[in-house]
Amino acid sequence: MIEIKHLKKSFGAHHVLRDVNLNIEDGKITSILGGSGSGKSTLIKCMMRLLDADGGEIIVRGKDITKVQNPFRLAAVRRHFGYLFQEGALFDSMTVGENVAFGLEYLTDIPKSRYASVVKEKLAMVGLKPEVAKLNPSELSGGMRKRVSLARVLAVSPQCILYDEPTTGLDPIMSDIISDLILEMKKKIGVTSVVITHDMHSAFKISDYIAFLYEGKIMLYGTPEDFRRTDNPYVRQFVDGSSHGPIQMKLMRD
């Protein structure tokens, strides 16, 4: 289990995370909802230690990873996680195959002679043909980029995958395919997943638990059913996707 306690992060005078408290259950999918700029990506970047938190704790396997400074121990901390970037962040100077195999060299003991078969296997897991390995990232559609990026994450067998808005920018069918893939990864390899999203359809479909991040704090945490039934006007407005409600009023006051 990953425990996030009183996490704080600011950028200058802008307090993005004020006091985040959240537990991520092993082997479950936890979605973090929130509007644009609410700090969702900041939260998982702090978990991955791509950003340093200003305060609080992130406890992974009993150790607070926010205190780790040694570069080698930091690399070991990151080893727990796989990170699916919003735009894929594929290395555009490499082919798809080289992208998928990239982490094998640094994070596994798999011999180079087996890289091609691992690439083929991981591409198949995300529903891509082996021929895709020869393409350049610039030749891929948005959905394919996300799938290749997921294959790159899967190749290094992380214990927890952090998905940064996996369905953003995709058509509804491709969004559903990506949602199915996230579910499949949980079923097939039992990986813990944290999904940053504002796609309610996807969140309800895939999540075991949902957390709603608002004004730097978790306003509501529960099952999808809890979110469907909640009377909380902020969450209600977000779930319904309405322009009328307290969130808009707050924005107008700002």
Partner 1 sequence: MHWLDQTGGAADMVRSVGFWLVHARFEFKQFVLQSITIGVDSFGVTALTSLFTGMVLALQAGNTINNIFGDPIFVGTIVSFSLIRELGPVLTGVVVAGRAGAAVTAHIGTMAVTEQLDALHTLGTNPTQYLIIPRMGAFLLTMPVLTVFSNIFGVIGGYLVAVYALEVPGEVYLNDITTFMGASDFMHGFIKSFIFAFMVAAVCCYKGISTRGGAEGVGKSTTGAVVTCIVLILVLDYFLTAILTAFGI
Tell me if 97 contacts partner 1 by CB under 8 A.
no
Contact between residue 96 and residue 140 where contact means Cβ atoms under 8 Å apart: yes
Distance CA 253, CA 237 (A): 17
Contact between 178 and 201 (Cβ < 8 Å): no
Site mask for partner 1 (CB under 8 A), range 161-200, x = bound: ----------------------------------------
Q: How many CA atoms lie within 13 A of 155 on its CB side?
A: 34
Among 92, 171, 184, 240, binds partner 1 (CB under 8 A): 92
Q: Within positions 28 to 87, which residues make up the interface with partner 1, using CB under 8 A?
A: 45, 48, 50, 71-72, 75, 78-79, 81-83, 85-87
Q: Which residue type is seen at 73?
A: R
Question: Smallest distance from the beta carbon of 241 to partner 1, in angstroms?
Answer: 27
SS3 state of residue 63? strand
11, 61, 91, 228: which one contacts partner 1 (CB under 8 A)?
A: 91
Binding residues for partner 1, how many (CB under 8 A)? Answer: 26
Distance CA 19, CA 50 (A): 19
CB of 217 to partner 1, least distance (A): 25
User: Cα separation of 202 and 172, whole Å?
Assistant: 10
Dist CA 76 CA 72 (whole Å): 6
| Residue 100 Cβ vs partner 1, minimum distance, rounded to whole Å | 11
User: Within its chain, how far is the Cα of 210 from the centroid?
Assistant: 13
DSSP state of 91: -
Q: How far is the CB of 151 from partner 1 (least distance, A)?
A: 13
Q: Give the three-state DSSP class for 97.
A: helix
Query: Smallest distance from the beta carbon of 57 to partner 1, in angstroms?
Result: 21
204 in contact with partner 1 (CB under 8 A): no
Nearer to partner 1, 86 or 232 (CB): 86
- The residue assigned the tokens 């709603």 is 212
Residue among 85 and 238 whose Cβ is closer to partner 1: 85
Contact residues for partner 1 (CB under 8 A)? 45, 48, 50, 71-72, 75, 78-79, 81-83, 85-87, 89-93, 102-103, 105-107, 152, 156
